[in-house]
A = this chain, B = another copy of it.
Amino acid sequence: MLKQERQQTIIDIVNEEHKVIASDLSRRLSVSEDTIRRDLKELDSQGVIKRVHSGALRKGPPVQDFSTRQEIYNETKSNLANKALQYIEDDMVLLIDGGTTNLQLVHQLPLSLKGTVITNSPPIAMALSNHNDIEVIMIGGTLFKQSMVNLGIDTYEALNSMRADLYIMGIYNIDPEIGISIPRSSEALIKRKMASISTEVLSMVTNDKLDTVSNHIVCPTDHLTYLITENVHPEIKRLYEKQGIDIIDHA
């Protein structure tokens, strides 16, 4: 990757996420922290970003116009994604479905990561366009625009001939007793199928989804291998661990 290219990427990330941590950039761009520091220094002296201890900030108006601009980026989700990264290694076959948290995770995957990503979500596929060592396999179907994933019979059929090491499942509702649920039955079916063809299943949830339920059950919580959460009460943690799930909180 060219230096100029990398610095432009840094600018884009800073503009999108409002702040960056040098060590995170190092992982995402697959260069040493020293190089990142030099880049940040340079960009700061150009006046493009504001260098601060341990990272950099976006320049200009820190005031966010929530009414007009839909902030896609969310710090909590980014933190969850960072936690998830430790379970992802070279040469894995990843199965990733939709959701903004999953999309954030994909953005934070190291550029040097090798492997295969299977997805039924066009935004996820597009976010991998710069990862030269990742083969992206898109699963077709009827695009469900609300969550930007392909669903339907074609999707189901295509999954029949695939397998994955790790399924990163986007979650809408989870309850330790009822299980994982979702408002649309078509999505529930596909998610269930995806879980069944994967060796391990990882999910990230923000607290607002914990202990909520919807109409259509995807699977019991014990189908999860890893559950990544914000800080949760130790009781709840025990409740999940009793089912054999590794629960990782952001402490």
Contacts and interface: CB of A to CB of B under 8 A. Distances in A.
Interface string A118-140: 00101101111110100111111
Interface string A1-28: 0111100110010000001010000000
Interface residues of A, number: 45
Interface in A130-181: 130, 132, 135-143, 145, 148, 150, 154, 158
Given A3-B53, A5-B19, A12-B68, A138 B123 contact: no
A57 B4 CA distance: 9
Interface stretch (A38-46, A58-66, A189-197): A58-66
Give the copy number: 2
Interface centre among A12, A67, A143 (most CB of B within 10 A): A143
A83 B123 CA distance: 29
Nearest to A124: B122
A239 interface: no
A48 to B, nearest CB: 12
Interface of A: 2-5, 8-9, 12, 19, 21, 52-55, 57, 62-68, 120, 122-123, 125-130, 132, 135-143, 145, 148, 150, 154, 158
11 contacts: A2-B19, A12-B68, A66-B126, A66-B130, A67-B123, A125-B143, A126-B126, A129-B148, A136-B145, A138-B140, A138-B150
